[in-house]
C-alpha cells in the first residue's frame, strides 16, 4: 500500500520479461552480466543519493513537494529497481522468496525488544 492508501502491485516476472525484451531488442544482453548490472545498480543508487546530498533532514522529508525533485526521485528509484530486477533475473533469484526470507531473518536479528527506537547495529550492541 502506498502513502495514499492505494494498493500497489508490481508483477515482478512481467516486468522482468519486459526488461529482458527491452535488452534483447537493443542487443544489450551481451552487456548484462552480473558484474556490469551490479555496477550499474551502484551507479544509479549514487545518483539517487546525490539528490539528497546537501538537503537537511527536514528538506529530505519534504522534498516530494517540489515537482522537479519528485520527478528526479521517481526516475532514479525506478532506475535502481530496473537494475535490481534485471540482476535478479540474470542470477535466477526469485525476488519474492528472497524478500520474504530476508524479512524473516531481519525479524530474528532485530527483535522488537532490542531494536525498537534503537539505530545501533546489532553487531555493535553491548550486552
pLDDT of residue 32: 97
Average pLDDT, the chain: 92
Percent of the chain with pLDDT over 90: 81
Task: Write b or e for each residue in 19-28: b if 16 or more Cβ atoms lie within 10 A of its Cβ, otherwise e.
Answer: bbeebeeeee
Whether pLDDT at 90 is above 90: yes
Which tens digit of pLDDT belongs to each residue from 4-13?
555 555 699 9
As given in the structure block, the three cell numbers for residue 95 are 525476488
CB atoms within 10 A of CB 120: 10
Give how far the C-alpha of residue 84 lies from the chain's centroid of Cα atoms, to the nearest Å: 7
Quote the pTM value: 0.84
Amino acid at each position: 500500500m502506498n502513502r495514499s492508501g492505494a494498493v500497489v502491485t508490481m508483477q515482478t516476472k512481467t516486468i522482468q520479461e519486459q526488461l529482458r525484451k527491452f535488452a534483447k531488442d537493443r542487443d544489450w544482453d551481451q552487456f548484462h552480466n552480473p558484474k556490469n548490472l551490479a555496477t550499474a545498480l551502484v551507479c544509479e543508487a549514487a545518483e539517487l543519493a546525490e539528490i539528497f546530498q546537501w538537503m537537511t533532514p527536514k528538506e529530505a522529508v519534504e522534498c516530494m513537494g517540489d515537482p522537479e525533485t519528485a520527478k528526479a526521485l521517481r526516475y532514479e528509484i525506478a532506475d535502481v529497481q530496473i537494475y535490481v530486477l534485471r540482476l535478479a533475473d540474470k542470477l535466477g533469484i526469485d525476488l519474492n522468496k528472497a524478500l520474504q526470507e530476508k524479512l524473516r531473518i531481519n525479524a530474528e536479528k532485530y527483535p522488537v525488544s532490542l531494536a525498537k527506537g534503537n539505530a545501533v547495529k546489532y553487531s555493535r550492541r553491548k550486552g
